[in-house]
Chain A
Amino acid sequence: MKFGVVIFPGSNCDEDIIHVLQNVMGQQVVRLWHKDHDLQGAEFIVLPGGFSFGDYLRSGAIARFSPIMQEVIQFAAKGGKVMGICNGFQILTEAGLLPGALLHNRNRKFICRNIYLKAQTPNSLVTRGIDPQRALKIPLAHGEGNYFADADVLKALNDNDQVLFRYCDEAGNITDDSNPNGSLENIAGVTNSGRNVFGFMPHPERAAEALVGNQDGLAIFESILSLANA
């Protein structure tokens, strides 16, 4: 599959996701510069992690105005697949492509460590191939990852099976203690109602190689590709 990875000024996980898609998963990847209007025929758009435009205002608040985002929004409206990781997730909520918002972490600090996640729905491209009982160990790295949505949106997310991942403990229990950032209902990632836009805070690209000593993130990439190839 041909992936397009958008590079905003201040993106800093762009090369990591490109490395994993290209060298670990063996996929074709094109780099999409934020000032461009051409998606270069990419079939799956990824918004990477980082600090787009420094994130001085609110994470993702400026990036959504980049020229390339007009194309990404149109692409998504036509059912094109778009996935945001960390800052990418923040940009997608700011752009209105995903519901909810990412607030400052409950402890008001940046958090970087391994946490555990459980896939919440078999009905999405990114979770379809993942054992729902499995607690995946995935790194987290953000200051604003505290997922929030109002009661109506939250209800709709649950009713429509739009929650992709929830934080859990090593044994897979979804508890407040295992919630690293204060996210509502331990939500770590969601999809839109059209189920073609995906966003989550954890970084599976940091857990996809023997080199780093953790390959749990592969489950997410394999899920995306197995369905795409089917």
Chain B
Amino acid sequence: MENQELTTVETARDLGLLPEEFDRIQEILGRVPNFTELSIFAVMWSEHCSYKNSITWLKTLPKDGPRMLAKAGEENAGLVDLGDGIGCAFKIESHNHPSALEPYQGAATGVGGINRDIFTMGARPIAQMNSLRFGDLSLDKTKWLVKGVVKGISHYGNAFGIPTVGGELFFDECYNINPLVNAFSAGIVKAGETVSATSYGVGNPVYIVGSATGKDGIHGAAFASKDITEDSVNDLPAVQVGDPFQEKLLLEATLEVIKTGAVIGMQDMGAAGIICSNSEMSAKGEHGMIIHLDRVPMRQENMKPYEILLSESQERMLIVVEKGKEALVEAVFDKWDLNCAIIGEVTDTKRLEYYMNGEKVADVPADDLVLGGGAPVYKREYREPAYYAENQKFKIEDVAEPENLVEVAEHLIGHANLASKRWVTDQYDSMIGTSTMTTNRPSDAAVVAVKGTDKAIVLTCDCNSRYVYADPQKGTAIAVAEAARNITCAGGEPVAITNCLNFGNPYIPEVYWQFVGAIKGMGEACTKFETPVTGGNVSFYNQSSDEGPVFPTPTIGMLGVMDEMDNLMTLDFKQPGDLIYLVGESQNDIASSQYLASYHKILAAPAPYFDLEKEYAMHQVVKQLIKHKVIQSAHDVADGGLYIALTEAAMPNRLGFDIESDSSIRKDAFLFGEAQGRVVVTVAPDDQERFVEMMATSETEFSLLGTVNGSGDATVDGELFGNITDIKMVHDNVLHVILGDE
């Protein structure tokens, strides 16, 4: 390696490494690293790849459960047993920083990346979701970001051909500079047909397949590991470019090549490209590799070794094949007209040795690069921010109750956070695959049939980040509870979660305090709901130099299972005359509600009322009501409170409702408060007795709210709040009015 320039601590700093990390690298190598080697360590030890500032806390999350087939962090995605020999691989991942700079490609490649994580395990993706957060929607920049991100997801996801069945959309000015784009995918695999991200067997060939390698996305992982600043635009080459057509071919070819039985291990090229796949697979298989970088199919000339190693060009896979079975593998990729090149072979050295035109350019131990091996692990200090104590001083009595609650209702119906998401969702193919059961049956969670079985998977993404900001621990427990509530209301059984932890800079103690609180809250709630954490991703540095961190946003992607498809429960009111009940308790609480934030413009408040034990008990009752066919509809009370929940249930069939409020609490809290643990159900008059009997034997509170009417009028205590046709007209078009288009 004579021709390789040696590095200094300054170079290390430029690549994002700390001085002590540079020292540690010299210790590991027993010499000064050259630039290629230093680049390797810099990217593998970046926050994005190493989880160095989060892993200590992530390890406290509940990971075990009877259905777990792969433990968190062991494979590219979580894998759970759905029964009858069927496994489900699922994961959520962020693509925030690329989307902030180049929304179309940033979001598109987020979709591509998460799907590759699923099919690299041998699972065929069957459903996707995405969780999006943007800034103030009145800003032109926000509109540009929304349009670009949605178009990017739309084009990539639609062409790839997997339905987008659900997600979230939320606006708050804290996301002005740094939007959040979290993409989720779930796939199905037969037990025993999964592929592991491993490498072993001396002499086995190492293949790179799929797209050619270019200079896009170099240092992408490092880019994702720092704050967004004015100079971030200079990182534009760190944004990758997606090609969904190649991804579709790669999907089909990959699943076909697995069937040949020739595959030892496989991993997609995501963050940190070839070096990440090489090191993680080698470390897991306790072997080494010799790789000839000049044999990698390239789409640009004169690429340097570190560029080839770090490139995050999309739609590529690394496959280790059993020696002697090369022809089987090559035939499949030839059929699909995809690149398929042997770039090296497996060794027993546990080292990664890289050559360029016959000259050795880097030699590093695989294990020292990876999480769980030699990658650094830090315990960060954390400190309760001053705002938290302020939030606790909030009293509902200090907020004057508006005289005109109809006006409040109209404000909320017209708010982008509560509006119909159809401007977005109509751009996503939600029905391809002919398995989406909830397109024509509105439901609290997406239900997707697993073809060839009697089962369906039930999916939801949830996180009210305003609650998490108000109280990270409670707010995150609420996110898990809301996800479980949505799955339950759809007729599913919660199984497991994946998480996407979007936070600010972890070196700021107040930000890290939010992270620690969120992990604690998630752990408590996941333990209670018996939904282990199967993995996910951590995205720190979601903050700009001038506007500070975003709301802490630990997005929960929850998977549920439905063993009998006729258990599917919808949220819409069915018949005039049906009785409307509230399951759970109304509270005199408006804390951190959309109503308090946008109508009163008060942000200093604690998280809303939440009782984990009561919440859990309530879910069990709802499951029984659904199972015994006692109710006609179920819809959880979430953002916007009871009034919004009622209108959402009323709109699909253009029915109205007449309800009475609870005189023991404030009417604004009754209608617009966001106390947790509540579900609106409707009951046919003939089933009332059965319903009351079942509820009375439970410990869950319930109350009669009123009845469904056929006139479409929405009335509260006899006062007309509007007709559902008019309400729906506003609700359906809020985003169209702001973002344009018919």
Residues of A within 8 A of B (CB): 9-10, 12-13, 15-16, 19-20, 49-51, 53-56, 106-107, 109-114, 139, 141, 143, 203, 205-206, 208-209, 211-214
Contact = CB atoms under 8 A, between A and B. Distances in A.
Instruction: Give the interface size bracket for B toward A.
Output: 35 or more
A56 B449 CA distance: 31
Given A16-B434, A112-B428, A141 B158 contact: yes
Given A51-B158, A213-B439, A10 B434 contact: no
Would you call the interface of chain A mostly helix, strand, loop, or mixed? mixed
A13 B245 contact: no
A212 B439 CA distance: 7
A141 B162 CA distance: 12
B439 to A, nearest CB: 7
7 contacts: A12-B248, A50-B161, A51-B158, A112-B427, A113-B426, A141-B431, A213-B437
Contacts of A112: 158, 426-431
Contacts of B161: 12-13, 50-51
B174 interface: no
Chain A to chain B: the 8 pairs with minimum beta-carbon distance, closest first? A12-B161, A54-B245, A213-B440, A51-B159, A112-B429, A141-B429, A206-B431, A16-B434
Nearest to A50: B161
Nearest to B245: A54
B436 interface: yes
Contacts of B426: 109, 111-113
**Central interface residue in A55, A112, A208, A211, by most chain B CB within 10 Å:** A112
Contacts of B336: 9
A74 B473 CA distance: 68
A42 B691 CA distance: 56
A109 B151 contact: yes
B741 interface: yes
A51 B245 contact: yes
Contacts of B449: 211
A206 B434 CA distance: 5
A51 B244 contact: yes
Contact of A110 (B427, B434, B437, B440): B427
Contacts of A111: 426-427
Contacts of A206: 431-432, 434
A212 B434 contact: yes
Nearest to A214: B440
Contacts of B244: 51, 54
Nearest to B249: A9
Contacts of B741: 107, 109
B441 interface: yes
Nearest to A56: B245
Contacts of A12: 159-161, 248, 432
Contacts of B154: 109-110
A54 B336 CA distance: 13
Contacts of B611: none
B155 interface: yes
A177 B533 CA distance: 47
A10 B249 contact: yes
Contacts of A141: 158, 429, 431-432
Contacts of A51: 158-159, 161, 244-245, 248
A66 to B, nearest CB: 12
A10 B159 contact: yes
B440 A114 contact: yes
Nearest to A108: B741
A10 B245 contact: yes
B437 A16 contact: no
B391 interface: no
B431 to A, nearest CB: 5
